[in-house]
Structure formats: structure tokens, C-alpha cells
Structure 1
């Protein structure tokens, strides 16, 4: 059965630049996005906005054996193995990006109380970048500071690809944020930004993918146990 994974690692600058310039290839690696980490909500002109040595990798594998082999045998895989990653079972998709449009829209009903991982993947329209930053940075802070996220970050591969990654204590908490059902002055920021995107799209392609976390490995910036406890299969 195919699985997905999301990796975070601090790597040498040469390793990061090489991976960004040329996507890795390996047996059983069906699709991969390699990106440089960003800190959500950071100023646009800031060393935290794009952190080249903080590599983020989102990948789809034919099976776990292919992922294990990559982490133990491939040079980039061995670098990623020094950091943190979570293995993921695919659940749902909204929107479409050609690289992942083979995924079904929905795999069936899910438990709203279970932890979930959300990955958004966008290919930007570069002329729309100022609008995207205007509407997007408040939403970044909303997600980053939400009491029901255990980890939230963004990553990019210049010039067009932007990814966000967030771990939620429950699907109910995530959808509450998405649809503006939370309390407080920031509650409707995401909902309003999505309405602006519908009015005039920021992106050439855009998708949001939802996953059930299966298992996490390693640590990230001194943290372990990032994924909330829940059922595994």
C-alpha cells in the first residue's frame, strides 16, 4: 500500500542546495517535493523567511520498504534520517495539483476526533505574490498560534512552489479553523483569505491534502512526540 511522508531536517548548505536544484530519484519514490523551510508569520524580508539549511521534503512512496531503503541508502535520505519525519495515510483532497491529482477526492468517512496532518501545495502566480503575502501572512500566524496545532510551518522552492504543513489534535479543530468557527478576532482570517482567493486566484495550481498520521520518527528542534496520540493502522 502506498504511503506519504513529510520530513524536516537541518542539513549542510551544499546538501540543501543540491536537493533543491535536482529532485532525488530512488526505487519506490513516486513523487517528491523538496523545499526550504520558512517560519510562519515571519517578516517577508528576514533570515527566518527562507531557511535554506532547514530542508522540508514531502514524498509519496510505493510502500514503507521503499521509504526505509531511501533513509538508509540514499545520500539525501541519510541526511533526512538525522531529523524528524511522520508517515502518513492519505484521507482527502481539495483542489488539484498535477503531481498529486491521481489521488481520489475522498477515501471514506473519518473520525473528527482523530489527529490529522494537513499539507497544502501551491504553484504561485508570481504577479499575485504581493496579494498572497497580504492575505496569507495573517493566516500563517493564525495557524501557527492555534491552540490545537502541535506543529505548523511553511516551506518553499523558488520561484513558485509553496507548501504548508500542520499537525492538528483533531480533524474537528482543523475544520473549525478553516471555516471560521473559532472564537476571537482572528477566527475568520483563513475563511476570508479563501474567499479572496476565490475572487481572484493567487495560484496556478493549489491543493489541500489531509492525512492520518501513522508514526513519527526522530526529533525536530529538540521536540519529540509532536503527533498527538491516536489510533494507528
Structure 2
């Protein structure tokens, strides 16, 4: 894991912002590292429901996915940047990466072992990131529909959204009640749709490069479809009390 000069784990964080009445934002130029202090990566994207069937863009909603040197850099962006103001009416959450499978070069991820998650240690956020091979678009959509339909039906999933910036960037963002609940969906034998998608990707990749990033979510603001998924998790009597 990359270390800071003081020997401690990285302070790098990821943020996801979902804005309402902001579709033009998704099609505009994303913020650029170097122009925004502390920004490492950013992309804006169209959004849709994570569900079975053909992709359905969510009218009026836009997303910003970004990574930052630390919380202070994100705080400055939220206080000063016009794009942050355009997205402020929706929902945003901060993520501390704890595990990465694969690699996606536009967003190098540093993990923090101090934020590691145990199986039942509160909610877990998952980002899947990919640069689509255009000739594999139809097989990808077919396989993704099966896996997404199963995820949408899982009562342990608190929130989910599909992200896309044509022609190549595709991603999903989801929040689950616990690591074990997420793992049962991803790797369990009762519902094999996700495992089948993984096998198909390994046999003939859908993407030029792809990554699965597990994160500890924290610092949520606003609402998503009328509620805050993190507040829902905090009220859940079936899981341990959230730390911090």
C-alpha cells in the first residue's frame, strides 16, 4: 500500500455525487486535476437504475465520481466550485478504499488498512469501473442485466446506481448493509448470476481494463430518492452499531 512521507497510510478518498436536474452537468467537461487543488481524478456521468433489462438513463440526474488527496481538498471543492453547487441538491458520500481487485489506470487507488472492514462491520460501498471494449458491448449488457437484476432484488442492498460516460466509461456504485451480505450476492452459490458474469469476463474481457473497489462509506449528505442510505443503515436494528 502506498505510504505518505510520515509513514502513515494514504489519506486518499473517493467521493460520489448524485445531482438532480443536472443532466447537462454529466455531458460537460469534468473538473481537471491541476485546475482543482487536491483533485486526483474526476469524471461526470449519466446515471441509470441498476436493474434487469436494457439500460435506462435517469432523466435529469447526473453523477460526479472523483478522488482527492484528502477530506480537506474535497471540502474546498464543495465550498468553492460551481459544479459542486450544481450538484448540491442531491446526495453525496465519501468513500475510503480498503480493497481493490483489478486495476483502472485513470483512477489509481490507494487503500487504507486502518479502514479495513470485517464481515459485519457496518455498510460497505462497492465501485465497479470499466473501460468498455466496444465490440463487447452487447455481451456486456446481456451479462450485466442478469447480475444487476439479481442485485436490485437483494434486500441487503441499500442503494445502487449505474454510471456511464459514452462511449467507453461504465461503472456501478452500490451500498450494502454488510460485507457478508455483499459477498453472498457476489460469490454465493444460491444466486450465481454475478459469478457467471465474472467467468464470462475472464474468458473474453468486456473491458480494456476494469477494477472492483471496496470502500468504507462515511460523511454522507443530502438524499437519494427521498432518503439517505447511510441513515437507513444506521437505523437498521439487525446489524451492529456504526463506528464513529
Q: TM-score range by the shorter chain?
A: 0.7 to 0.9
SS at match of 2:125: strand
Among residues 123, 133, 137, which one is paired with 1:129 in the alignment?
137
CA distance in 2, matches of 1:96, 1:68: 27
Please report the TM-score for the alignment, with normalisation by the length of structure 1.
Answer: 0.88
Give per-residue Cα distances to partners, 1:179-229, cap 9 Å, x unaligned: 124x4xxx0000111111111111101000010112211111211244523
Gapped regions of structure 1 (runs ≥ 5): none
Paired with 1:231 and 1:27, the residues of 2 have a C-alpha distance of: 31
Q: Over aligned residue pairs, what C-alpha RMSD do you find?
A: 1.9
Q: 1:14, 1:193 → 2: CA distance?
A: 32
Post-superposition offset of 1:175: 1.1
| 8 Å Cα contact 1:215/1:232 also seen in 2 | no
Conserved in 2, the CA contact under 8 Å of 1:156 and 1:163? yes
Secondary structure of 1:98's counterpart equals: coil
- 1:1-233 maps to which residues of 2 (within 5 A)? 1-18=11-28, 22-25=29-32, 26-41=36-51, 43-44=53-54, 49-51=56-58, 53-104=60-111, 107=113, 109-114=116-121, 115-181=123-189, 183=190, 187-226=191-230, 228-229=233-234, 230-232=241-243
In the TM superposition, structure 1's runs of 4+ consecutive aligned residues that sit over 4 Å from their partners are none
Do 2:159 and 2:229's aligned partners in 1 also have CA atoms closer than 8 Å?
no
Q: Deviations over 1:84-132 (max 9, x none)?
A: 011111100000111233535x837531102100000000000001111
Distance 1:134 1:12 in 2: 29
Q: C-alpha distance in 2, partners of 1:100/1:24?
A: 14
TM-fit CA distance, 1:134: 1.3
Name the CA distance, whole Å, in 1 between partners of 2:104 and 2:27.
24
C-alpha displacement of 1:231: 3.3
Alpha-carbon contact 1:29-1:59 (below 8 Å) kept:
yes
> Take 2:113 and 2:230, find their aligned partners in 1: how far apart are those partners?
25
Alpha-carbon deviations, 1:4-28, whole Å to 9, x = none? 111111134433322xxx1113111
* C-alpha contact 2:27 2:45 (8 A) present in aligned 1: no
Cα deviation code 1:61-100 (max 9, x no counterpart): 1121221221221111111221101111110000011123
Unmatched tracts of structure 2, length 5 or more: 1-10, 235-240
Distance in 2 separating the partners of 1:3 and 1:36: 22
In 2, Cα distance between equivalents of 1:192 and 1:14: 36
